[in-house]
Structures are given as C-alpha cells and as structure tokens.
C-alpha cells in the first residue's frame, strides 16, 4: 500500500509540471534517432570494393573500364555493387546473371539513366537507344525495326551495299599499283558511313579532299562523347566543371553540327517529290515523313523526335560496323593461317564470277565463324549501354535499389575461361557446328545485348560486315607494311568510347589477287 501511495503521489507531481514542447523535442529527437538505427534493416547489397569518400569507386574504373571491372569482378564476384560518385551501380559479369536480367527481370531492368551527353545530343533522349522505357520507346523502336531493320528491309538495300563496296574495291585497287600501304581503318569508316547514310538519310556523304569522311569522324566523335566521363552525371553539384574541361562546349558544338545537317536533310526530303507527290527514294527519312503525314503513328513524331531517331540509326549503325570490320581484319593479319583458310573458302565459293552475291555469303561458313569469334573477343560495346532499375528488385539473392545503374560486362562474359576454352585466343573453329549464336538467346555470347533493350540493328550490321569482308578477302591479299613487320608487330591496343576501337589505325598493304 505504501508503494501504491508513492506512485500516485509521483504521478500527481508530474502532472503539475507544465508541458514544454521544446524540452520534449530535445529528448524526443535522440530517442527517434536511436530507435531508427536499431529498427532499420540495411539492404543486402552485392559485394563492393572499398571506396573513397565522395568519389566512391570511380578511381578504380581506369582508362578501359571493361578491363578494370573484369579484374575487380574476379576478386569480388560476378555481381558487384559500386558507388560511382552519387550513382549507385551494379556490374554484372556472368552469363547466368545476364540471363536473369534479360529474361526473368527484363522489365525492371529496361530503363535508361539520362546522361548529360545523351540528353544534349539526342534532343532530350527522344531517340530509341537512350529513351526511357515506356510507350514512346516501344513505338519508336517498332518503327525502326519494321521500316529499316527488318530482314525484308535489309534485303531491299542490297544494291546500296554492292555499290559502296564496289567503290571501296576500286580505291584499294588503285593503291595497289605503287605497292604502298593504305589506311584501311579510314576506308572502312567511309564505306560503313556511306552504306548507313544512304539507307537512313537517302544520300551519300562524299569524302573530303584528304580522303577522310567528315561524317564518319562525326559519328565516331558522337560515340566517344556518349561514352566520355561527365562530372555532372556522377556529382550533380560539380556539373560546372564540365564547362571548364570543355566537355559541354564540345557537346554543344557537335550537336549544332548534327542539328544543321539533319534539318537540311529533312527539308530536302520534304521538297523532293515525284509527280504523284510521293518521295522518289525509300530511305528512313522518307518513310518517317510519310507515316507522319498520313497520321499512321501511335506517337507524336515531332521534328526533334525524327532527328533523334535518325541520329540513332546513322551513328549507331556506321560506327559499330566499321569497328567490327577493323578488329576482324586486325585479327586475320595476326593469324595468317586463318586468313588463308578464309580466302580459300571465299574464292572457292565465288569461283570465276566477277561479283559476290548474297547466296555466296550464305555458303561461307568459316567466314561466319570468323565474324562470331571477332564479336566474341571484340564486342563493339564491351560494356552494354547502361540500364537503370525502375523499382527495387531481389536479384541474385541481393537487394537492388531503384534508380541503380546497371552495366553488363559483355567483354568479361565473352572471355570467361569457365565458359570458353582458351578464352583469350582467336579460334574461329570453336563456332563450327556450334549452336551458340549472337541473337540474344545464348547469354554467354551477347555482343548485341538481349531482351527488350537488345540491339535492333543486328541483321543490318551483320549483313554489311559479311559483305564487305568477303569482298576485301576475295579480291586482295594483305600484308603488314615493312616498318611494322620489322618493329614490334601490330598494335592491338584499344581506345575507349561507347564503342572500343583500335588506338592505332590499321595500315595494310593490299596486293591484287588474280584467279
């Protein structure tokens, strides 16, 4: 009874104390902080290398991120969580995890982060490649696939490939008379650029007096800018540094050049009509303008939308094609026995004909193996274009937060020694009678990606590469210039961009082949 009386007395005394909101807040805030720390559950994130304050793991990317990330993944695992400045990032370096992303969780991993370069060069990401996942992206992609990139459309542009490759062969032939080397890299860029520009834009961009294609270099410049480091993308509060480094001015200058070019092309297409008021060419610009005029599109196609899609097709198609051709020829020069076998096959199939046709290409099985092996060792985009999670997702036993950037290290997967025997060697024979293909269903071999965000230009690009390489192997023998032979041999070092190209252009000596 004494204790009960004491408690009642204490309660009465407590009620006499006036309520002080400020004092209550002082005691409440520490209590809530401690309570939150005790009750909060940290997400189960994938392993992460030690990071530095502010910059996180940015310092570990190196000049060739696909190689640096492979080395880190060898230590921390095929799922690795990085902090690139303010951007949480997931790096995937295994075929099994790539399959999970592109099949099981494809929708949640199908978004794109909006980068500074893509936003400025592609009219606010109104294109296909960098557009956020949604209805606009679906409809824009559908237009491109059906109207330009389908098998039927690719076949309809056969005459373009034939004409441009004939120009290439004639140029190389002319250089054979003096026995000098040619800059094959420059020639392949010009040829790839002209094929794509004629199919997409309806006109060929002639080379300048020095033999270099201004538009070929413009497309490669765009690819480099899209893959370049930007302070504002990782540290929004430091975006002003991109002005000081010249990155933003370079983006603006490149955009102005592209914008003027595409405005001019679109206006020319609008004014050039046949007597029945139809375009007299069937390139992508004509097709898009026709659909726009007839109201046959499910999305609004503004002038900026149209130009963004054209830039996608123009830049993406030309640069990836020339890059693949460049690496393929470099590997053949390094492996003369493989080149000899390829030439024997090509020349046997062509026989005494003066021209290679599509049916001939379909019989060149070893050449197709060489292309696959080139794409395995040298995927044009060794790190897939970044994805972004649209929601939190349980993945590989870990918790992946929303708004996490995701890179699939295609280069690492395709050199994985647990999947590929003698993974670092150029062995086209590995694809003989091998059902593994690059169409996005075999996740150990994904040079064109897979799932919803897989490259829609696969058929277009492969067809162009096969036709070009078959011709330059058929009509010419090739050797290294004497100064390279006597030196350290062929330089196979890389330079990073959205595509990874040879650092040193490929100079070779062509020799006319007489059947």
CATH number at residue 458: 1.10.630.10
**d(Cα 346, Cα 462) in Å, to the nearest integer?**
17
pLDDT per residue, tens digit, the chain (515 aa), is 554 554 455 445 545 545 444 444 444 555 444 444 444 568 899 999 999 999 999 999 988 999 999 999 999 999 999 999 999 999 999 999 999 999 999 999 999 999 999 999 999 998 888 999 998 888 888 888 887 788 888 888 999 999 999 999 999 999 888 888 999 999 998 899 889 888 888 887 665 555 555 565 677 688 788 888 899 999 999 999 999 999 999 999 999 988 988 898 888 888 875 444 444 457 888 888 887 776 666 667 788 888 898 888 887 777 889 999 999 999 999 999 999 999 999 999 999 998 999 899 999 999 999 999 999 999 988 998 899 999 999 999 999 999 999 999 999 999 999 999 999 999 999 999 999 999 889 999 999 999 999 988 889 999 999 999 999 999 999 999 987 765 567 899 998 877 888 999 999 999 998 77
Is 9 part of a structural domain of the chain? no
Is 306 part of a structural domain of the chain? yes
Is 482 part of a structural domain of the chain? yes
Question: Shortest CA distance to 228 belongs to which of 344, 345, 115?
Answer: 115
Q: In whole angstroms, how far apart are CA 155 and each of 76, 158, 196, 350, 356?
A: 46, 5, 14, 20, 15
Is 495 part of a structural domain of the chain? yes
DSSP state of 59: G
CB-count exposure of residue 118 (10 Å: 0-12, 13-18, 19+)? buried
Is 1 part of a structural domain of the chain? no
Is 253 part of a structural domain of the chain? yes
CB-CB contact of 464 with 161 (8 Å): yes
Query: Domain containing 458: what range?
Result: 92-512
Is 61 part of a structural domain of the chain? no
CB-CB contact of 452 with 105 (8 Å): no
Is 452 part of a structural domain of the chain? yes
Number of domains composing the chain: 1
Is residue 403 classed as helix, strand or coil in its secondary structure? coil
């Amino acid at each position: 009874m004494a204790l009960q009386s004491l408690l009642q007395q204490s309660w009465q005394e407590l009620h006499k104390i006036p309520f002080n909101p400020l004092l209550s807040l002082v005691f409440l805030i520490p209590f809530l902080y401690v309570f939150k720390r005790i009750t909060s559950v940290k997400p189960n994130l994938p392993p992460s290398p030690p990071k530095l304050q502010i910059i996180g793991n940015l310092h570990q990317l190196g000049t060739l991120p696909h190689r640096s990330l492979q080395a880190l993944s060898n230590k921390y695992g095929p799922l690795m969580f990085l902090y690139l400045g303010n951007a949480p990032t997931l790096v995937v370096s295994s075929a099994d995890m790539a399959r999970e992303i592109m099949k099981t969780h494809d929708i949640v991993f199908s978004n794109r982060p909006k980068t500074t370069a893509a936003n400025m060069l592609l009219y606010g990401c109104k294109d296909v490649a960098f557009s956020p996942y949604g209805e606009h992206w679906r409809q824009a992609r559908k237009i491109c696939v059906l109207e330009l990139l389908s098998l039927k459309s690719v076949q309809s542009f056969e005459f373009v490939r034939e004409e441009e490759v004939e120009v290439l062969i004639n140029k190389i032939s002319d250089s054979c008379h003096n026995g000098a080397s040619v800059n094959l890299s420059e020639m392949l860029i010009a040829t790839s650029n002209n094929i794509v520009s004629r199919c997409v834009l309806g006109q060929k961009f002639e080379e300048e007096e020095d033999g270099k294609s201004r538009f070929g270099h413009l497309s490669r410049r765009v690819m480099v800018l899209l893959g370049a480091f930007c302070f504002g993308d990782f540290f929004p509060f430091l975006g002003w540094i991109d002005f000081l480094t010249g990155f933003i001015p370079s983006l603006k200058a490149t955009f102005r050049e592209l914008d003027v070019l595409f405005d001019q092309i679109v206006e020319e297409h609008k004014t050039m009509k046949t007597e029945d008021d139809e375009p007299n060419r069937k390139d992508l610009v004509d097709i898009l303008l026709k659909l726009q005029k007839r109201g046959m599109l499910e999305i609004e196609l503004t002038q900026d939308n149209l130009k963004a899609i054209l830039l996608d097709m123009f830049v993406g198609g030309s640069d990836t094609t020339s890059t693949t051709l460049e690496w393929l020829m470099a590997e053949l020069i390094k492996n003369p026995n493989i080149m000899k076998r390829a030439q024997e096959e090509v020349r046997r199939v062509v026989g005494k004909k003066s021209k290679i046709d599509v049916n001939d290409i379909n019989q060149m099985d070893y050449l197709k193996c060489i292309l696959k092996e080139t794409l395995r060792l040298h995927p044009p985009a060794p790190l897939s274009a970044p994805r972004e999670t649209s929601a939190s997702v349980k993945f590989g036993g870990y918790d992946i937060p929303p708004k996490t950037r995701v890179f699939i290290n295609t280069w690492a997967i395709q050199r994985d020694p647990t999947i590929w025997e003698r993974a670092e060697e150029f062995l086209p024979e590995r694809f003989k009678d091998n059902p593994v293909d690059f169409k996005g269903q075999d996740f150990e071999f994904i040079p064109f990606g897979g799932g919803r965000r897989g490259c829609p230009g696969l058929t277009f690009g492969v067809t162009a590469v096969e036709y070009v390489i078959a011709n330059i192997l058929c009509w010419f023998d090739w050797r290294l210039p004497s100064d390279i032979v006597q030196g350290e041999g062929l330089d196979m070092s890389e330079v990073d961009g959205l595509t990874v190209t040879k650092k040193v252009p490929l100079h070779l000596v062509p020799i006319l082949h007489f059947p």
